[in-house]
Amino acid sequence: MSDAKPDRISPEPPAPVAPAPAGAPISPPIEDVRTRAEAGRGFGPIERIAAGLSLVWLVLVAAFWLFVPGNGAGLDAASLVMAVTGILLPLVMIWIAAITARTAAEMRAEAQALKASVETMRAAWLSQSQLRAGATIEKKLDEVAQVARQAETAIATFTSRRDAGATPPSADRKAALAAPRPAAPGEDQPALALGTPAEALAQPVSVADFICALNFPDNADDREGFRALRRALEDRTMAKLIRAAQDVLNLLAQDGIYMDDLTPDRARPELWRRFAQGERGREIAALGGVRDRSSLALTAGRMRSDTIFRDAAHHFLRQFDRTFTEFETNASDQEVAELAETRTARAFMLLGRVTGTFD
């Protein structure tokens, strides 16, 4: 907008308005012009010119009456009215012209301000459109990344480890943990004459029940979850892991950390198998897929300050390591991927990353 005052007609075009930054409030130029116009409605240049012309006219009229001989003699009423009208009419015309010029200057200033305001709003709208376009692109990229992760999980699901000559049994029939290793002939372990233990006669827990038990029941109406949990607690090895996981999940819930709120990055079953086979360090760092900063910070602080929590966490990590080592030998890649989605596995990812298991 031009810097000319509203009471002066400026022939120069208005200066271009720079685009306003995104998110910046749009200033109202019209209001600024009106404010300055109201502030400058005193005795401006146009009024001074009109006053000067009026004064000159009055001086000329006075000189005519003073220096022209016999100018006032024999004036009747009509002549006097005509004389007064001839004196005042030019003054009225001068001030009408002054008022018209001032109004035209104000209207031109407001037109320039309106144009500047429209340009400012247009620039702000373009900036916001660019920001919305950038946000849309970022959203599309996030969707592509999510689809890629889902595709990776699907690939891992369909890539099951199979023997060359036989198809593995289903998860409902296959035992979750490997059978205990028989004693070697050279080992000194005398057989106790106590008969066959009860757990040896029980049917082994299936892979499906074991995975369901590690995820724990969703609510009080989850009958299948409670059935699988009771079935897994009958196994001594599974019971140790389930109770350790339950203790850890209860302690984490005290800090508002719930496994359902975590969305860890999925790791390929090959990494889980390498972990079960004893590999540690950065090669399997992808297993620690929990990225939630608040959960990691709260858990790390609890590990440093609470000895009970620290002992429970280390006990849980040991039990998970031992049990998963047995589970891996019997499980397919799909079953390993399903176990990685349980609440117990997510707690292992969280605590393993905090304790440096994957460093």
Give the best-scoring range by mean pLDDT among 15-19, 175-179, 345-349: 345-349
Q: Amino acid letter at 139?
A: K
Give the best-scoring range by mean pLDDT among 29-43, 68-82, 233-247: 233-247
pLDDT at 148: 67
Angle, vertex CA 151, rays to CA 145 and CA 152, nearest 5: 90
3-state secondary structure of 175: strand
CB atoms within 10 A of CB 58: 13
pLDDT in tens, 174-201: 566 655 444 444 444 454 445 445 555 5
Residues written for the chain: 359
| Measured distance CA(339)–CA(325) in Å, rounded | 13
pLDDT in tens, 27-36: 445 555 555 5
CB atoms within 10 A of CB 322: 13
pLDDT at 156: 52
One DSSP character per residue, 98-147 reads HHHHHHHHHHHHHHHHHHHHHHHHHHHHHHHHHHHHHHHHHHHHHHHHHH
Location of structure tokens 């992808």: 286
Angle, vertex CA 306, rays to CA 302 and CA 309, nearest 5: 80
pLDDT at 167: 45
| Measured distance CA(135)–CA(201) in Å, rounded | 62
50 pLDDT higher than 70 = yes
pLDDT at 88: 85
